Amino acid sequence: VAGIVEDGEHPDAVAARETMEECGCDLLALKPITSYLVTPGCSSETIGLYLGRVDASKAGGIHGLDHENEDIRVFTVPAEDAFRMVADGTINNGTIIICLQWLQLNRDAVRREWT
């Protein structure tokens, strides 16, 4: 999911709101991954990356807000399949690659923390 943090808004609140709006899932836990400059030297815009815990059995369908012209198709992919999709180039979005590689390195520790 993605969202813009408005003045006075906390990133955790944005993550919870956007998870519900864009996936139809309640955010059960949130863990910061990292943040980075999108175009260093050209802009000060940063992206904050987080791992969110949800009940994935409730994920699926079409979500988003009509007034934002969102039409978001939600589906789940097993983690191992997603890791393979990064390796074979199917996933070619840098932000998603960072998140999935972080998950691949930290998955066992996160499981221990969240269980």
pLDDT tens track for 94-111: 999 999 999 999 999 999
> pLDDT band at residue 3, thresholds of 50, 70 and 90?
confident
| pLDDT higher at 76 or 84 | 84
The reported pLDDT for the residue numbered 47 is: 93
pLDDT tens track for 27-52: 999 999 999 999 999 999 999 999 99
Spans of all domains in the chain: 1-76, 77-115
The reported pLDDT for the residue numbered 69 is: 63
Residue 47 is inside which H or E element, if any? strand 46-53
> Which residues does the annotation mark as catalytic?
68
Coil, strand or helix: which one is 2? coil
Interatomic CA distance for residues 70 and 23, integer angstroms: 11
Q: Roughly what angle, to the nearest 10 degrees, separates helices 94-114 and 79-87?
A: 150
Task: Provide the CATH number for the domain formed by 1-76 in this structure.
Answer: 3.90.79.10
> pLDDT band at residue 113, thresholds of 50, 70 and 90?
very high
The reported pLDDT for the residue numbered 49 is: 95
Q: What is the pTM of this model?
A: 0.84
| pLDDT higher at 113 or 24 | 113
